[in-house]
Amino acid sequence: MLTLSEIEHLLRSKGQRQYGREAVSQLDHALQCAQLAEQHGRPRETIVAALLHDLGHLLASEDTRKAADRDDLHQFIALPFLRGLLPDAVLEPIRLHVDAKRYLCATEPAYFDILSPASVRSLALQGGPHSPSQAQAFIEQPFAHEAVALRRYDDDAKTPGRPTPPLSHYLAMLAAVALESTAAERQPA
Q: What are phi and psi of 18, to 5 degrees?
A: -65, 140
Question: Under a CB-based contact definition with an 8 Å cutoff, are residues 102 and 114 in contact?
Answer: no
Which amino acid makes up residue 112?
A: F
**Residue-level pLDDT at 20:** 78
Q: Which domains does the chain have, with CATH numbers?
A: 4-175 (1.10.3210.10)
- Summarize pLDDT for 122-146 with one digit per residue, the tens: 888 888 999 999 999 999 999 999 9
Which whole number is the average pLDDT over 91-110?
Answer: 95
Residue 158 and residue 25: Cα distance in Å, rounded? Answer: 9
Full-model pTM? 0.91
Q: What are phi and psi of 164, to 5 degrees?
A: -140, 165
Residue 32 and residue 50: Cα distance in Å, rounded? Answer: 9
Residue 23 and residue 161: Cα distance in Å, rounded? Answer: 10
- Summarize pLDDT for 33-59 with one digit per residue, the tens: 999 999 999 999 999 999 999 999 899
Residues 6+ apart with CB under 8 A from 78: 52, 55, 56, 59, 94
